[in-house]
Amino acid sequence: MFARENWVRAVMSPFVQTGQCGLFMLRMLAGLRFSSEQLRNTLQQVYLIGARSLVIIMICGFFVGMVLALQAINALEQFGASDQVSLLVGKSLFRELGPVLTALLFAGRAGTSIAAEIGLMKATSQIDAMELMAIDPVQRVALPRFLAGVISMPLLTGMFNAMAILGAVVFSIGVMEMDAGIFWSKLQHGVYFGQDYMGGVWKSLVFGGLVSLIAVFFGSTAKPTGSGVATATTNTVVLSSVLILIFDFIMTSFFT
Amino acid sequence: MDIPRGQIVAFMGPSGVGKTTVLRLISGQLQPDSGTIEVDGLLVSGMDRRQLHDYRRRIGVLLQNGALFTDLTVFENIATPVREHSRLPEPLVRRLVLSKLHSVGLGGTEDLMPHSLSGGMARRVALARAVVMDPAIVLYDEPMTGLDPIAMSTVRRLMRETNDTLGLTSVVVTHNVEQMKHLVDYCYILVEGRIAGEGPPEQLSASEDLSVDQFMNGRVEGPIPFHYLPADSGWSLLDPDH
């Protein structure tokens, strides 16, 4: 009897959590006021979770661009089409790799930080203190972090893409001594702003919302203990990563 | 239980007896299974979210560890409730915060972060934050825990001065008998989920109730048991799975 109840609970748990997460998001968005206080908190979080993720995003972007160029040149050389490398790198970056890899890095760098911070605030009674001061922690703590995630992700993706193109330039032109004019003209004429670049921007907006929603939700519902915070942090990374890839497929199918 | 306006009333008792639960009931964080909580004519038990929000603007709470916001400076910590609940211009907010900080003897610490404060200083900042909105009632949860004797006396004096100067009503939850003897006007002693005794501290120290006497005078032997399970529970070290 108990085993059956546990089994039912295990099956229902993801649906229940999805519902709770949805309600949590509605409660957050209901508090959107565009007040100067909210704007200030959000900008502060954009700095903390966005600007402070820049270094890791830029380093990773540069090396992803280099390795993409390397693999593309190796593969295209077999068909005598290695001059198309910028086209391949540009399209794959702007459409897929830029937004997805930035989101995965953001989940690891900023998502964990948000979940752990809110979880620790619970463990140290800071959330209790807020409630007792008649301050809604969902509006004061969760909403600015959620908005900062949505704002930061497209900007970080743009920076990742720029650094990846730089990496591809360094490898293709600097190391493989390709013609710079061909590299840039293929990129300029083969990659479209609306179709390729903006497709990635829309994706990054969704990923930003997804990762920061999961992070603030798990942080806010974490048990106020050391292991509770650890579980919230782990769940944030795991679930964010899986959902980024699932949503990427759904959105790619939709846009295509 | 009745808590008269303007007094400092303590709820004391051994750990785990439900002292903090009483505080959570008064602040509306918990709802009672039975009975009612009434504060200044308002029925706290049964308030909806909006009513609780309005009610909590009239109370100040000092939690056990101070619960300062660790990512904000001392100034920002105290200014948070003011900015949230008033439309005061920034120069006035600054003046108000600094005057509260000065009243707890911490003028000049406004730019420090909470991690650079000692335990006693953090508790005083938390006290300044609790009273910055001029509440009618202040609730203290174990305000002396973890403080050195000087810090304890300082916090105790500040609690008394704040209560009398601002005309507040203070409710203190603690198990620090010695400090409370010098601070509170009236005590409730909770033992095993019931009120074992009540009255002024000096009167309770001489109580004939065995539980009250054991607690107030820190005796090992008495009706408040040392073991978690009662002697007749059947649990034995020789056969713990019994």
What's the pLDDT tens digit per position in A6-33? 888 888 888 888 999 999 999 999 888 8
CATH number corresponding to B8-233: 3.40.50.300
The per-residue pLDDT for B120 is 86
pLDDT of A48 > 70? The answer is yes
How much of chain B, in percent, has pLDDT values that exceed 70?
99
Residue A16 is assigned to a structural domain of this protein: no
Select the residue of B56, B67, B71 nearest A134 (Cβ to Cβ): B56
Contact across the interface for B67 and A126, Cβ inside 8 Å: yes
CA distance B205 to B200: 9
Tens-digit pLDDT profile for residues B61-88: 998 888 999 989 999 999 999 988 888 8
Q: What is the pLDDT of residues B128-168, one digit of tens each?
A: 999 898 888 999 998 888 778 887 888 888 888 888 888 88
List the single residue in A37, A128, A136 with the smallest CB-CB distance to B63. A128
Would residue A128 count as lying in a domain? yes
* Sheet containing B137-141, strands listed edge to edge, beginning at the edge strand earlier in sequence: B59-62, B137-141, B169-174, B8-12, B186-191, B194-199
Q: Is the pLDDT of residue A210 over 70?
A: yes
Contact by Cβ (8 Å): A237, A111: yes
Using the CB atoms, write b or e for B52-73: b if 16+ within 10 Å.
bbebbbebbbbbbbbbbbeeeb
Residues from A contacting B (CB-CB < 8 Å) are: 37, 117, 121, 124-126, 128-129, 131-136, 140
Supply φ then ψ for residue B68, to 5 degrees. Answer: -70, 150
In this prediction, residue A61 carries a pLDDT of: 96
Question: How many distinct structural domains can be found in chain A?
Answer: 1
Chain A nearest CA to B68, separation (Å): 6
pLDDT at A99: 96
Asked if residue A162 belongs to a domain, the reply is yes
Domain boundaries along the sequence of chain B? 8-233
Residues of A with CB below 8 A from B123's CB?
none
Contacts of A134 in chain B (CB under 8 A): 52-54, 56-57, 81, 84-85
A132 contacts B27? CB cut-off 8 A: yes
Chain B: give the shortest CA distance to residue A35, in Å. Answer: 11
Domain of residue A152 covers: 35-255
Enter the ipTM: 0.81
- Residue from B71, B6, B103, B37 nearest A48 by CA: B71
Position B242 scores a pLDDT of 60
Share above pLDDT 90 across residues of chain B, in percent, rounded to a whole number: 22
Yes or no, beta carbons of B61 and A132 under 8 Å apart: yes
pLDDT digits (tens, 9 = 90+) for B36-68: 898 888 888 888 888 888 898 889 999 888 899
Contact flag A133-B70 (C-beta cutoff 8 Å): no
- Do residues B1 and B175 lie in contact, with contact meaning Cβ atoms separated by under 8 Å? no
Looking at the predicted structure, is the pLDDT value of residue A1 above 70?
no
Question: Does residue A21 belong to any structural domain of this protein?
Answer: no
Q: Strand B8-12 to strand B169-174: parallel, antiparallel, or no bridges (unpaired)?
A: parallel
pLDDT (0 to 100) of residue B223? 76
Comparing alpha-carbon positions, the chain A residue that sits nearest to B135 is A133
Determine the pLDDT at residue A165.
Answer: 95
DSSP designation for A224: S
- Has residue A136 been placed in a domain? yes
Q: Taking a C-beta distance cutoff of 8 angstroms, is the pair A164, A57 a contact?
A: no
Q: Does A119 fall in a domain? A: yes
Cα–Cα distance, B115 to B138 (Å, whole number):
25
Would you call A124 and B70 a contact, using CB atoms and an 8 Å cutoff? yes
Separation in Å, CA of A203 to nearest CA in chain B: 32
The CA distance from A199 to A96, in Å, is 9
Q: Identify whether A203 is part of a domain.
A: yes
- Predicted pLDDT of residue A248: 94
- SS3 sequence, chain B? CCCCCCCEEEEECCCCCCHHHHHHHHHCCCCCCCCCCEECCEECCCCCHHHHHHHHCCEEEECCCCCCCCCCCHHHHHHHHHHHHCCCCHHHHHHHHHHHHHHCCCCCCCCCCHHHCCHHHHHHHHHHHHHCCCCCEEEEECCCCCCCHHHHHHHHHHHHHHHHHHCCEEEEEECCHHHHHCCCCEEEEEECCEEEEEECHHHHHCCCCHHHHHHHCCCCCCCCCCCCCCHHHCCCCCCCCC
Closest CA to A213 of A83, A103, A115: A115
pLDDT confidence tier of residue B236, bands split at 50, 70 and 90: confident
Over residues A87-107, mean pLDDT: 94
Q: What is the pLDDT of residue A235?
A: 93
Q: CB of A146 within 8 A of CB of A137?
A: no
Which range, of A130-144, A182-196, B228-242, averages the lowest pLDDT? B228-242
- What is the mean pLDDT of the segment spanning A114-126? 93
CB contact under 8 A, A134 and B53: yes
pLDDT, position A148: 95
Chain B nearest C-alpha distance from A140 (Å):
10
Asked if residue A4 is part of any domain, the answer here is no
**Angle of CA points A166, A168, A174, to nearest 5°:** 90
Spell out the long-range contacts of B176-184 with Cβ–Cβ below 8 A and sequence spacing 24 or more.
Answer: B176/B142, B176/B144, B176/B145, B176/B152, B177/B12, B177/B201, B177/B215, B177/B216, B177/B218, B179/B144, B179/B152, B179/B153, B180/B10, B180/B12, B181/B205, B182/B156, B183/B8, B183/B10, B183/B156, B183/B159, B184/B8, B184/B9, B184/B10
Closest CA to A13 of A239, A247, A242, A255: A239
For residue range A211-232, list pLDDT tens digits in order. Answer: 999 999 999 999 999 999 999 9
